Each structure stands twice: as C-alpha cells, then as structure tokens.
Structure 1
Amino acid sequence: MSETWLEVAPDAEFGPATLPYGVFSTDPEGAERRTGVAIGAYVLDLGAAARALDAPYAEQVQGPTLDAFMAAGREVWDRVRADLQRWLGDPAFEAAVRPHLVDRGSVRLHLPFTVADYVDFYASEHHASNVGRIFRPEQEPLTPNWKHLPIGYHGRAGTVVVSGTDVVRPSGQRKPPTEPAPLFGASVRLDIEAEVGFVVGTPSPMGEAVQVDDFAEHVFGVFLLNDWSSRDLQAWEYVPLGPFLGKSFATSVSPWIVPVAALEAARVEPPAQDPEPLPYLKGAQAWGLDLRLEVYLNGHRVASPPFETMYWTAAQQLAHMTVNGACLRTGDVFASGTVSGPERDQRGCLLELTWSGQEPLVLPDGTERTFLEDGDEVTITATAPGPDGARVHFGEVTGTVLPAR
C-alpha cells in the first residue's frame, strides 16, 4: 500500500509502507493498554477497528500485549496486515476506521510483548575485529570459532525495558590495571551497543531445530535495541564464561515492532562467508537486511552503522540457537549484536568510536566523551527501503543515564 485516505506521505515516519505494531494507553495510569498500529500522526486502535469490521481475529489483537497476536502465526499475521492495507487504503472503510484513530502524540507507549528469553549475538565482523584489536592487539582479532558459528550469550529477560525508561548506572566489581585487587563501585566505562532485535511469534517444540528458511514462519517482527554495557565490569568478569553483570542491568527496546513482511524490499544478499558455513547454517533465501541505523548522543549524531554489512544473518542466528534442540517460545528475543561498518563513523558503540577511551569523541557542542556520563541521553533510529521508493521507519529507542544508587 503506497497511498491512504489519511493523506500520509509515502516517505513520512510510519507511512503506509511500515504499519508497525505496538501497545499504547491514553489513560493517566497506563492501565488500559491496547494494541495499536502507527500510521502517520496517528495510532489505530487495532482491536476496536477489528471489532467494528467484524474481523475473525479481533480477540487476538486487543492487547494488553501483542502476545496472543504473535502466537497466532504467519497466516493470521498476513491476514491482519492485508486487512490494514485495505482499511487504510480504501476510502470505503474511512467511516468505520476513523473513529478508532488516536493522535500519536497523546499516547503512552509500553513494552509491547512479554519477553520470554533473551539471546544477544556478536554478528558484525567489523565490530568483532575492532574489539579483538583493542583487547588482544598482539593476536588475531577474531577468535578461531567466529567465522564458523554465530557467537552469542544468554541475557536477562527481566531487565528488557521500553524506550524512554531511564537506565541507572550499574555497580559491581571492576579491576583497574593499576590496582592489585578488584574494587567495588559504580561503572566508569558505561557504553551502548546499537543493535537490531527480533521477536519470535510462533514457538517450536523442544528437540527440533528450526531451519534457516523457516525464519519468516517463526519471527513476528523487528525492532531497535540498545544493549547497554559496562565495559569495566565486563572486562573483569567475562573470563571464562562471558558477559554477565556487565550486560544484565538493562536492555532498551523500541516500542514499535516492524513486521517481517514490511521488509521485503530491504532484503539483500549478506556478505560472502568464508569458510563456507555448515549445512544447517545455509538456506535458499537471502536474509541480509539493508537497514540504516543512526546513533545520537545528547542530540548529536555520532554514528551511522549499516546493518547490511552484518556477517551472520538473523535467519542463521535463529537456526543456530535452536540446532541443539532448544525450543522457541512466543516472546523470545534475539539481538544482532553491535552493528558496525568499516568506517569510523559507522561504529555502533563508544568502545570502538573512542578506541577504548584513547581517542575521545568530540561532540559538536565542544564536549568530549570516552564513555557515558550521568545525564547523557542516547537515541538510536533506523530506516529501510520500502516498496515503490518508500521508507520503512523503526521509530527510536532512547534512554537516559541516571547516577548509580
């Protein structure tokens, strides 16, 4: 759908090419949560519109979360999107639909689904190579297994928060190089990681692996994610089992979930993989995605990471995280890992942008940053190509750093 009776421009934020799903409220307490669809300056109350038009899935799209809708599966997802395109594109539906439109500026947005599990990957070769050069300057930047499998860690689902939620600076053990023993205190090397997240709708049985080409049958949608990271806590704790307290204190996600079907025009071939992946990591469909991220620190753009450069695709990540027989559940989240490109202004975290603090980032207002300071606000946005020259918009994920408690 490229046109709508709402007169929303095809390239407007949340134009008719996107139609993302979220959960909103209009009451002061945020108690009456409803499923919504963003369209231009409005949010469509999807449950109310579905009831008014006697849609068979009306009960599944009412809210207060997207859980029931996500669990309904691909056939229902496709039916809802097709109906939305008809309702918003055909003037014959205006009288029935318009009463259920709410001004987008007046709503409060909530975490759109119940997070079941959270897995974070490490899929950018540029990011992994930079991190390797920073931490292991005398060794090969990539670990021996990196090009054989998508590396990841299991995160903490309970601290995934919606955009706009403040993030308290974490405390924990850290060991400065000049100290003989670890210290306890607030992190002094707080960082962000600009990532893309994916949420599972259709579950899978325990003991059965999901194939690469079944990605779109299981993944409901795509969103933006900020994997807040304490580099000093992480550096002391990560040997031998990897990230723990340096990551688990907060993960921020954008409130609007872009359906996979909206990204057909953004699909591209991923970078060539050498050595050739094992058979379970190969498929007939290309699931590289041409997403353009932008990272802002206190309102200043500091990076523009290109997602199309990611070495491992989301479809390969899904196949790998289930190849041992681990099941999928509705609401499982998996994230791409930091998105970074080959150029300096394409690096998706401060660790890379400042080369671990050795090259401070100078902002346009003259202030400098190596890592985040209290009061700093970080915002990540993204767009992707849509049909007929339109743009698909992901909205934003924003968080502000509060002092340690």
Structure 2
Amino acid sequence: MALDPNDRTIAGFTMAGHALVHWFETSIPIFLVVWLAAFDVDVAVLGLVVALGYAPFGLGALPAGVLSDRFGPKRLVLACLAGMSLSFLVLAVADSIAAVAVGLVLWGIAASVYHPAGLSLISTGVDERGTVFAWHGIAGNVGIALGPFVAATLLIVFEWQVVAAVLAVPGLVAVAYGVGADFDPTAAVDDDAAAGPDDALSLPEFLSNSRTLFASAFAVVFAIVTVEGLFYRGILTYLPEILQGLPAMAAIDLEADLEGIDPGDYVYVGLLVVGMAGQYAGGKLTNRLPAERGLAAIFAVLAVLALAFVPVTGMGLGPLLVLCGLVGFFLFAIQPFYQEAVAVYTPPETRGLSYGYTYLGEFGLGATSIAIGGFVLGSVSLAAFFVLLAAFALTGVVLSGGLVFALDRFETAGGQTAAETD
C-alpha cells in the first residue's frame, strides 16, 4: 500500500534522523586511531574518553522518552540533530584530549534523544507503521556504513578537525529540512489516545511500571540486551585500530596514487555493509524462530568468531576478510531478535518504557566495554580482548537459554506475543 503524504513526510524526517545518528556514531571509531597519535595518549585513556561520549547515548534514553511526551517528538528530533551537529563542530576546534571528551559527551547527550522520540513519532503519526519502520531501519544501516566510509576517505586528504566539521554539515541540512516539514504527529491515533503535556509519565507511575517490568522476564531480556551492547560497542570501537595493526593488511597492495588509504578502515566499512544483510536476514527469521532460540544461537556464533579472530589473523588476508564479514553479518542479525524479545515479554501499555530501558542497556551500559576493552588492549593483549568479547557472548547464550524456560519461572507482564498485540 502506498504511503499517504503524512506518512511519507514522517518517514523522510525520521529516516534522515536515524541515518544521521548512526552516521555520527560509527565515524567516531575512525577518529580514535588519529586521536591516539595526535594527543599522545594510550589506548586505555582514550578508551575511557570515548566511553564517556557513548555512555550518555544510552543513559539519556529514559529521560528523553519523558521529554518527548512533554514537548513532542518533532522538537526532540530537531534538538537531537542540531545538538549532534554542534558537538562535532566542537570536536573540529578541539586542541586537547579534554576538549575531545567534551565534544563526545555533548554528542552522546544529543544522540540519546533520537530513538525514543523518533520511534514515538512513527508509532503515533504513521498509519503504515510496518513499512515505515522497515525503511527507518534501512536508513539507520545506511548511516552505519556511510559514517566511517566518509570519515576514512576524507581523512586521506584533510586534517581530522576539518573532517569533523564536514561530517556536521548533513546534520545542519537535516535540521533545516525538519523545521519546514509539515506533518501531523498524532495522525495514527485517536485524539483521546494522543499524549500531551499532561500525560507525561509521573514519577510514581514510572517507578510502578519499572517494578512491574523488572519483576517479569523482561529483567532477563534487559540483561541480554546489555551483554549484546557490551559485545557490539567493544568490537565496533576498537576494530579499526586492530585491523590497522595486522600484518595481513599489508597484503593489500595499493596503487601509488592511493597511498595514505588505510585498508583496515575499508575492511571495517565492508563489515558494516554486510551487517545490512544480517539485519534483513535476522528480521525475516524472527517470523520463523522463537526470539530466545535465535538469540542463543547467534550469541554462540559470535563467541566462536571472537575466539577465532586472533588465530585467523595468522592465516592471511582471505580468511581474515571472511571472518570480518561473518562478524558483521551476525552482529546485526541479532538485533531484530532482541527487539522481538522485548515485544514478547512486555505488555503494550509499558512498551515505550521497555524500549527506553532497552536502549539504556544497549548503548548506555554497553559503553562500559569501551573502557574495559581499552584497558585490556593496552595492558594485557589482543587475545585477551577477544576472550573478553567471547565471555560477553557466552553470557548471552546462558541468559537466552534461560528465556526458553522464562514463562515457567516468571509471571510475565501481560504475556502477549508481538503477534497477539498487533
């Protein structure tokens, strides 16, 4: 079915927002390599700085949801886009690692707003939600791949400060577009159901609903999402630097006019592109495979891939490229399964709060692996880093296996599956 004008406008607005959130997010690891040289700091210190930036991305999800109810999702998305762009302009004038930390923290605060506000806007303003959610997810994956690709390419010819400023430009363009976008943010719900300032969740309601959620199987889902976030953030943050230091990368013989390009950055981008196929495949499989079984299986694969990484690096370029492709595929294939698990193990009336906690675990608590991983890489070894990642994934296997018996062990909050609530 074709989208009506209101749906199309909201789709364009939220797709731009989702793409840009991840455009900024995945460009940061490319800068990490440059900052290590520019500021003469070790990987542990820089890992802590980057973790400080990524942590608010998730920690701000809950208050962002409340603010979205009070001020409206369009205002929040515009504030997010403007804030992320301005934070990268702060990075562009940074002359110390402390200034970089300030820019990253500002980015994390601004970026935290998007997912609660953007998803809320789609859920209340769009009639063809399934179609728009699909395009919204694709836009996010495009941003995930393009961010590091553009950053790595620009760094060939420009200083990193200039590249940071250039990356801010699309965000400013999106703000200008969004200000002029005209749509009804509550077109898909009854007037009585549309949230307004007086409907924002009160503190007692927030605490009561939170207790209900964490007294159910959602507590296990939250733990699963958190360990997935630990694996996701750890590997995506440090992989560009790890790839640059591998002897296998020297096998890529570039032409003279391409000197200065680091092959590892483009292998990293290729991994993210393969992730698009993984997310599509994972989404299709959620219709055929119970969420908890899919989660357990993919966590097990990720654990094996993490443990295989160091041995494979000694086998040459071909096996390393295959391994990176598999990591990208399964790293993103797991995401539809935990999103489905949230829907299965939460009632409709707490769904927004549930996804707020989901992003808190994924992007907020998950960011602690940046600091932990930086310490392990700097003070222990590369092998220990991948053992750490494997431990996160194996924890996910155990927790997901527990969900197979969750209905027997917990009184779920509502007990509806996603299909039953549609």
TM over 0.5: no
Name whichever structure is richer in helix by fraction: 2
TM-score (norm 1): 0.23
TM-score (norm 2): 0.22
Name whichever structure is richer in strand by fraction: 1
Higher relative contact order (CA 8 A, sep 6+): 2
